[in-house]
Chains A and B, each alone.
Chain A
Amino acid sequence: MLEIKNATKVFNPGTVNEKIAINDVSLTLNNGDFVTVIGSNGAGKSTLLNAVAGVFRLDGGSILIDGNDITGIPEYKRAKFIGRVFQDPMTGTAADMQIEENLALAARRGKKRTLRWAITKKERERYKEALASLGLGLEDRLTAKVGLLSGGQRQSVALLMATINSPQLLLLDEHTAALDPKTAAKVLEITEKIVTEERLTTLMVTHNMRDAIAHGNRLIMMNAGKIIFEVSGDEKKKLTVEALLAKFAEASGSVFSNDRALLG
């Protein structure tokens, strides 16, 4: 489904701040894979996701979706295949626009935007149902500005937007990191529900080791721009945080350090 081949990205090349963010990374996702990504600070997790989303051009390697090379395609065109939720709740939604307007914008992802009305009566019903499924009471606030919502509510709406048209690939970039633990758990629960129901191929970066183990069918660990450890299936289910930390020390030769990491 998604093939990342020998992807390399160097930030600030030729300066003292030069940083090889991802270094010759290859990764293949099969249809329906739910892959969690963990790693210490600056390991290249977000860079990998942004490379797939097309935020910048790769310095080497290629990216394919369903066999089509999308390496040179700009970000806004890739959106046709890809749904994304960001870490910052402010980033994923248009704060000054209504909830239904945000959803309608997302529903037209990858389609031509014409001079027809931005939102129809029929889709309004559909949004109402989708919002009701979140269980946050947002179904009665279709015309409320998204900026009035709490962080968790905004992330839930962003999640709905990202998945509204069943994208071929869902990219979640630490989308619960900015939320308090209780809210994060709720958003993650919604994530799990949508991903399972729609059988979405998903790449989820997380700072929470326990979440990384509990969700998805595959787990990859990154360090210094490389994938250093991968586990899937039954082996992943049996994984513990302690075992994961040991693996990290073994594979990287250093101690896992992430100022946001939740180990327990």
Chain B
Amino acid sequence: MGLLNSMPGAVAQGLIWGIMAIGVYITYKILDIPDLTVDGSMVTGACVGAVLVSLGVNIWIAMLAAFFAGVLAGLLTGVFHTFLGIPAILSGILTQLILWSVNLKTLGQANMSVSARVYNVALSQLNKGDAILKLAIICAVLIGVLYMFFGTEFGAAMRATGNNPKMSRAQGINTDFMKVVGLMLSNGIVAFSGALLMQYQGAADINMGRGAIVVGLAAVIIGEVLFGKISVNFAVRLGGVVAGGIIYYIVYQTVIFLGIDTDLLKMLSAIVVAIFLAVPYWKKRFTRPKIKQGESGVSGDA
């Protein structure tokens, strides 16, 4: 199989992980919460979707159910974090562990085949062109809906919560509530992407979410680096995140094509993400802060 032949598959997988990364973007970028629930909630979405499809439920309803299963996972993490006062990272890890059991029980086994030849699924790797088209439409709709949502009074309050919680409370925003809703929305989207991946691969697997957060972060960072300068428009940024997912998978496939030991791929992904996360910190350490003139001057047009 040539490298070029693997590209449609990379684009389709990249789109799915791009959707997942949009979920990560909501917590990591907008709410400023590093949420590790996603490693579990992505699988939850896949498991719920797989089981429902195997029971003969309509695939779109199964995907909706997967979304809501993720919403519940986010609710759990949110309650751990806000109501019980557990640090965000630990809250996510706890939910992730709970979901491991939940996912196993849901699926009833470690993996389940959901072949497009047997079941009525919306997309599959058996028809990559069709899958890419449908995924692109789903991405566009999702970005459109989120663009509008974050432009509402409620959405603006959520953005403010992540940007400056102290100010938000002073302006009457229930920051704990906003964090919980944000986690629910994020994990709903992640679980939805899990249901998409399940269909595309033709199987749900208890291990399919391992390291999902790293892939999501990679997509967010790639999107930021490449598209952040183009426009500050929110829709463009989300589009950048999806593009980040696609680029990640194109690079991934290329690296595999070049013959690297696939056992090392997760390690390499993590190292790449670590480097990118470190860049802003080291930039700050080694560049002199530019002192602007009239920094605190009222009349200064800083």
Stretch binding the partner chain, chosen from B54-62, B133-141, B199-207, B294-302: B294-302
Known: A84-B170, A179-B298. 11 other contacts (CB 8 A): A79-B169, A86-B170, A90-B164, A91-B167, A96-B159, A97-B163, A105-B156, A109-B171, A109-B172, A111-B172, A150-B300
Q: Pick the contact of A93 from B157, B164, B302 — CB < 8 Å? A: B164
- What are the 3 closest A-B residue pairs judged by CB atoms, nearest first? A79-B172, A152-B298, A118-B156
Interfacial chain B residues near A84, Cβ < 8 Å: 170
- Report which B residues bind A (CB closer than 8 A): 149, 151-157, 159-160, 163-164, 166-175, 294-302
Q: Knowing A101-B156, A150-B295, A152-B297, say if A75 contacts B169 (CB, 8 Å).
A: yes
Kindly state the separation between the CA atoms of A150 and B159 in the bound complex, as whole angstroms.
22
- Cβ of A96 and Cβ of B163 under 8 Å apart? yes
Kindly state the separation between the CA atoms of A161 and B154 in the bound complex, as whole angstroms.
18
Q: Number of A residues contacting the other chain (C-beta, 8 Å)?
A: 50
- Cβ of B169 and Cβ of A76 under 8 Å apart? yes
Mask: chain A, 91-129; 1 = CB below 8 Å from B; 0 = not? 111111100010011101111011111110000000000
- Cβ of B296 and Cβ of A179 under 8 Å apart? yes
Q: Knowing A108-B172, A136-B299, A153-B298, say if A95 contacts B163 (CB, 8 Å).
A: yes
Q: List 22 A-B residue pairs with CB atoms under 8 Å apart, sorted by A's residue number.
A: A76-B168, A76-B169, A76-B174, A77-B172, A84-B170, A92-B170, A93-B164, A93-B167, A94-B164, A95-B164, A105-B173, A109-B172, A111-B172, A115-B149, A115-B153, A150-B300, A150-B302, A153-B298, A156-B298, A161-B171, A180-B297, A182-B297
Tell me the interface secondary structure of chain A in the complex: loop
Smallest Cβ-Cβ distance to A116: which chain B residue: B153
Question: Is A80 among interface residues, defined by CB-CB distance under 8 A?
Answer: yes
Interfacial chain A residues near B151, Cβ < 8 Å: 117-118
Interfacial chain A residues near B298, Cβ < 8 Å: 136, 150, 152-153, 156, 179, 182-183, 186-187
Question: Is A213 among interface residues, defined by CB-CB distance under 8 A?
Answer: no
Query: Which residue, B149, B154, B164, B300, has most C-beta atoms of chain A within 10 A?
Result: B164
Smallest Cβ-Cβ distance to A107: which chain B residue: B171
Kindly state the separation between the CA atoms of A96 and B175 in the bound complex, as whole angstroms.
17
Kindly state the separation between the CA atoms of A110 and B157 in the bound complex, as whole angstroms.
12
- Cβ of A114 and Cβ of B302 under 8 Å apart? no
Interfacial chain A residues near B164, Cβ < 8 Å: 90-91, 93-95
- Cβ of A150 and Cβ of B160 under 8 Å apart? no
